[in-house]
Amino acid sequence: MSQKETVEKALGNITTESGQKITLIHTVGMFRYEPEGMPPDKYDRNGDGIDDDIYRSNVTTTRNVIATLLNGRPTTDIGIVAFSSIIKEHQFPHFGSYDRAKTLMEEDLQRVATELPNVSAVVLNVPTLDTPAEHDIRPFAQQSETWLPPVQLVDHSLPEILSLGNEGNRGYSDRKTECQIYVLNLIRKKLVIC
């Protein structure tokens, strides 16, 4: 999705009937642990302080998706759901590139959803998902109740996703969603950060 042509090919031919809306769920972009709090030069070739791969998978993909969905659809209701991590809310120093890239992504979504009346967007900050892939990537991570099974992510996010763009839920949502409140309550109970 970081190649504009690929996004245009995948999403550019979507057609809608009058009154229909498009809701795109844009999943989490990559992150990489940064022991020094900054990306090594080999990952930050342009010197902007953000890992280039993380920037591409979070910011560039979002910008390509937004541009493609908006092209030729001035009146179609468009909803964009993006995912981020609760780590971002805590500004964990070893994920600086991820934090900065997600901030840029959120700013883009907020700008578009504020400026265009047919666009609504929400960013859902979620914890680590309890999946086999996460266990493989992070075999020594502390696994706790705050690792959310995918079914609970769906259960706690679906109301927000389904109401996106409806009256009372237009524009950009930066309020705590049901999913975020659920996870934050778990964290407060256990006093752990996942």
Please tell me the predicted confidence (pLDDT) of residue 53: 94
Please tell me the predicted confidence (pLDDT) of residue 54: 92
Please tell me the predicted confidence (pLDDT) of residue 52: 95
Where the chain has pLDDT below 50, the residues are 190-194
Please tell me the predicted confidence (pLDDT) of residue 136: 78
Please tell me the predicted confidence (pLDDT) of residue 107: 93
Residues 59-86 have pLDDT tens digits of 999 999 889 888 888 888 888 888 887 7
Cα distance between residue 106 and residue 179, in whole Å: 18
Bridge partners, 26 (sequence order): 82
Q: In a 3-state reduction of DSSP, which class is residue 92?
A: coil
Tell me how many domains the chain contains: 1
How is 46-91 classified by DSSP, letter by letter? T-SSS-HHHHIIIIIHHHHHHHHHHTT-SSSEEEEEEEEEHHHHHT
Please tell me the predicted confidence (pLDDT) of residue 176: 56
- Domain containing 180 — which CATH number? 3.40.50.720
**Structural domain harbouring 163:** 4-190
